[in-house]
Amino acid sequence: MSPGLSLGQLRPELAHPVASKDPEEEGDGEQHGSPELPPTGPLLGSWHQNVNLTWKSSPEEGAARAWTTFYYNLLQSCLQQAGLPETVDRSLEPHPGCPGVEVTICVLGSPSSFFSVLLEGGAQSPGNLLLCLSPSWLTKVPMAGKPGESALLVSKAVTFHPGGLTFLEEFAPPRRVTYFLGELGPKAGRGREVAELSRDLGCPMGSSAELVRLLENRLLTRQLLAQGDKVVVPTTLALTYKPPQQLRGQAWTQSLRQVELSDKEGQEGLVEEEVEAFLRLGALGDAHQVAVKPSGWRWRGSQAMSLHPRSEAGAVVRAVLALLEKLEEEESVLVEAVCPPARILPPDAPGKLAIRVCAVVCRTQGDRPLMSQMVCSVGRPEQPLRHQVALTQSLDAALAACGLSEPATVEALRHRVQEAAEGALGAVLEFEASLSPEQRGGRHAQTDVLGVDLALTPMGPGGSLSPVLLELNSCLCLEACGLLEGQWARRGQRSQWAAAGPLVETMLRRSARHLMEGKHLLVVGAGGYSKKFVWEAARDYGLKLHLVESDPNHFASQLVQTFIHFDVTEHRRDEENARHLAELVRARGLQLDGCLSYWDDCLVLTALLCKELGLRGCPPAAMSLAKQKSQTQSHLLRCRSPRWPAPSLYAVPCCPLEVPEDVERAARLVPLPGVMKLEFGAGAVGVRLVDDASQCRAHFAKISQDLQGEADHPGIGLGWGNAMLLMEFVAGTEHDVDVVIFSGRLLGAFVSDNGPTRLPGFTETAACMPTGLAPEREAQLIQAAYQCCLGCGLLDGVFNVEMKLTAAGPRLIEINPRMGGFYLRDWIQELYGVDLLLAAAMVACGIPPALPAQPRARACLVGVMCVVSQHLQALSSTASREALQALHERGLIRLNLLEEELVPGEYEEPYCSIACSGINPTEARHRLLGLCQGLGIDSPNYPVAHFLSHFK
């Protein structure tokens, strides 16, 4: 370690970053980017000083070294105030990196600004979120095959882990960044260095200097927000010196007027005329004050704002002219109405209060805005409320100070704030979509998190409080929300949504896409219509798919890189077929990163093929064990693990049935009533409740006659034969547990609830996600599903485990050793932002998916299945495919089509799933029931209310 970087030799009085100086105090604008030492002041606390902050390949001197030390001290102060242990220095023992096969989210900037992001990232994805305290810890290198783009390598960083544990580590070889988030700005510190590092990166970025420059131009953002009345903004007069291209030729609203100035001098007459006309506008409403402030990226964080009575036009003109002298091209002076403060309702209250709301909005799955958190600051109206100088509190507490504590009133205002904040990000995303990659600052640059500052002001005849948007920022609101969350955490409380939660999910999702882009995967079996999304998603993710399929005319054959026509339906020859397929793959010279199947029928063949090709996958014996239902249960019943609870606790007694004599024996051994099903079946085809031995014999004979081979019902596993099994009927509620396992470690689990089936059959009728179970019960199901998979040897993959929850605990119905079918992938992606399809592909390529450790659903989905035998008339009229698709596009339902044609049959599978969303199961259930009644899906023979009765 270089002695020059010992913390004990540097100034101990280093303090938190303070607000940037007023440009009037700084003199010439060129000084905004000049190198300066970090702020000074006392940092109270004690932590180890002898810390290795240098990077041997890029030593720092002077101001750069001071900033690195300052940020380390600031991080320790943040940890200390949050009640967390100080950072442990492990940099003398380099951590072995795995370039290209692990998620690496890199944050470069002030630890206080990103503290909530760092803690949330450490909790959701341990060790994958890195804080760089110095640009020298990062290196840019050209990307192979991508001219003009660079990869970013991390050689040193602070890593974050659950419980707030942090470690200072070095990486040999360096880790390749899969997502970059930096603190960008034009002033002293690291802003300009961050901008240089982020330019032309080939990995996803949370922003760029170009986007921040646009985002923090108050005039530009107000013009975007005012268009179409998406968000209410203060009535504003803008005097612009040579406006940017985006502001030229725009149509201006009544609340926003721009005056273009050709020069900064000799404008006194025009300024006086425009200001006096503006102050007389009726659009200013009850505003008694106006604010004069500069607009432009160079003025970011400045306090060059002044307040003036609306009646004093001369003072306003002088303030405008004083700022006008300092403008540069594309900058503006804004004169805006100051929102009237809130009225304090108690009669003996001394006056009025100004309330400022600070909201964090994140880009989520499907580029949709989601407000994750909001906090408030309260103060006297004569003093502007600013970030980092006003205390934060919850909306409830702020409104209570104004005498507003009625829950309905508070909730209504919360909803209006959310609409305004999400509308702001929506407008920004729409604007960004119109920009070229060069204008955005790179092909991978986009705004993933937005801070939205709003004032709550009386509006309308009743004077009720409403939000008015003041400005947008990059991370100030994120810091403010994190401070309040820290206060709650110290009291043992946790909000439903951490401010940074959706942002971390977006980081993980974009990192996964980046890692998988261009990967070559062999997919065995194209599947039916319900798997159509596989090919659409692969194109979206940039995957290179090579398909093995029996049907030479399958529509997917035209959507892949390579199509191999091969009969995969005769599963008694799977071992031989796997050898032949491996030879075909080698003969074609395919360089594969992974091999997998999403189709029940081809899972064992895929496992054998992976073994032949030396690719990652479950052992064929484990896949065969999971695929044969009676063997799954029998094996687990014998599985006496030394670790308790053993998988045997979850298994259910059963007997295989191949010949009629097996039926008689099974009826004596298995307690009745029982359940009969196909040994290798899928989709609940042929599953039936039997009460006695005579029903067992009758059902066995019927299945033996009706379902003899693949041609009788393709895709349900008849290529292995039509053997059956009898298992004990287990009373309780039914649930699906979709798990992601990598190298035997459980990385993610998602639990859904199923409604009662239409006995004596077991075709699914209804479902709800997330589960309505108590957390303890949910944890029991996850543990049981995980243990059953491990017990069968399923150590790598995405698996769907069907469970019953009894009074005595979970019991296993069966393991589907592939991604959950029907609607499950779509629902999990919608509610949690996690794509099981991509997770399965990552596992197949040997890349551990970085999933949220504690996923939290954004809403609730309740759905019902439609079957042709009961809904043919409705599906041909009121609930036609076109009508349902129209409802889906309007956001009124979530539609998952599972079959292409309306074909009735005795052994049917669901035609489609229709779901409604709500903030809780009750709301979603009521919406769905009303819709099903209106569409004709609900009927005496198909009582939707009964099927939804479990979701109260």
Q: How many other C-beta atoms lie within 10 A of the C-beta of residue 656?
A: 17
Is the per-residue pLDDT at 12 higher than 60?
Answer: no
CA gap 723, 3 in Å, rounded: 75
CA–CA distance from 53 to each of 85, 133, 554, 744 (Å)? 18, 9, 59, 36
3-state secondary structure of 683: coil
Tens-digit pLDDT profile for residues 743-780? 999 999 999 999 998 888 888 999 999 999 999 999 99
Residues 761 and 703: beta-carbon distance below 8 Å: no
Does pLDDT of 546 surpass 80? yes
pLDDT tens across 855-905, in order?
889 899 999 999 999 999 999 999 999 999 999 999 999 999 998 888 877
Predicted confidence at residue 20, as pLDDT, reads 34
Statement: residue 130 has pLDDT above 80: yes
DSSP 108: E
Which residues does 770 contact at the CB level (< 8 Å), separation at least 6? 750, 751, 752, 831, 857, 860
**φ, ψ for residue 939 (rounded to 5)?**
-160, 165
* pLDDT at res. 95: 76
Q: Is 732 left (phi over 0), alpha (psi -120 to 50) or beta?
A: left
Q: Please give the share of the chain, as a percent, with pLDDT higher than 70.
A: 92
Residues forming a β-bridge with 654: 727
715 compared with 652, residue with greater pLDDT? 652
Q: 681 falls in which pLDDT band (50, 70, 90)?
A: confident
Between residues 315 and 146, the one the model is more confident about? 315
Q: What is d(CA 647, CA 806) in angstroms, rounded to the nearest whole number? A: 16
Q: Where are the alpha helices (DSSP H) in 764-891?
A: 775-792, 824-832, 836-844, 868-875, 881-889
594, 544 in Cβ contact below 8 A?
Answer: no
Query: Tell me, what's the pLDDT at 497?
Result: 65
Tokens at 215, concatenated: 């985002």
The residue-averaged pLDDT of 290-303 equals: 83
Q: What is the Cα–Cα distance from 516 to 848, expressed in whole angstroms?
A: 11
- What average pLDDT does the structure give for the chain? 87
Q: What is the pLDDT of residues 777-808, one digit of tens each?
A: 999 999 999 999 999 999 999 999 999 999 99
CB neighbour class for 39 (10 Å; exposed up to 12, middle 13-18, buried from 19): middle
* Least-confidence region, from 175-179, 249-253, 562-566, 709-713: 249-253
pLDDT in tens, 385-428: 777 777 888 888 888 888 888 898 899 999 999 999 999 999 99
- CB-count burial class (<10 Å; 0-12, 13-18, 19+) for 576: exposed
* DSSP-assigned beta bridge partners for residue 356: 377, 455
pLDDT recorded at residue 590: 95
CB atoms within 10 A of CB 516: 21
Is it the case that residue 619 has pLDDT exceeding 70?
yes
The pLDDT assigned to 349 comes to 60
- H-helix segments, 216-335: 218-226, 268-279, 313-324
Nearest by Cα to 599 from 714, 460, 511: 714
CB 103 within 8 A of CB 122: no
- The pLDDT of residue 11 is 33
pLDDT exceeds cutoff 50 at 16: no
Confidence of residue 281 (pLDDT cuts 50, 70, 90): confident
pLDDT at 392: 85
Indicate whether 35 pLDDT > 80.
no
CA distance 116 to 101: 26
pTM greater than 0.85 (yes/no)? yes
Beta strands in 123-199 (DSSP E): 129-132, 138-142, 150-161, 165-176, 179-182
Determine the pLDDT at residue 23: 34
pLDDT at residue 228 greater than cutoff 90? no
The CB density around residue 76, as the number of other CB atoms within 10 Å, is: 23
| Alpha carbons 663 and 683: distance in angstroms, whole number | 23
- Domains recognised in the chain with CATH numbers: 62-203 (no CATH), 235-337 (no CATH), 354-500 (3.30.470), 518-615 (3.40.50.20), 859-951 (3.30.1370)
Q: What is the C-alpha to C-alpha distance for residues 504 and 179, in angstroms, rounded to an integer? A: 10
Three-state DSSP state, 677: strand
- Where is pLDDT greater, at 178 or 197? 178
Asked if residues 239 and 261 have their Cβ atoms less than 8 Å apart, the reply is yes
Are 357 and 395 contacting, i.e. CB atoms less than 8 angstroms apart?
yes
pLDDT for the residue 776:
95
Half-sphere exposure of residue 171: CA atoms within 13 angstroms, side-chain side: 25
Facing residues of 130 across strands? 106, 159
Backbone angles phi, psi at 500, to 5 degrees: -90, 0
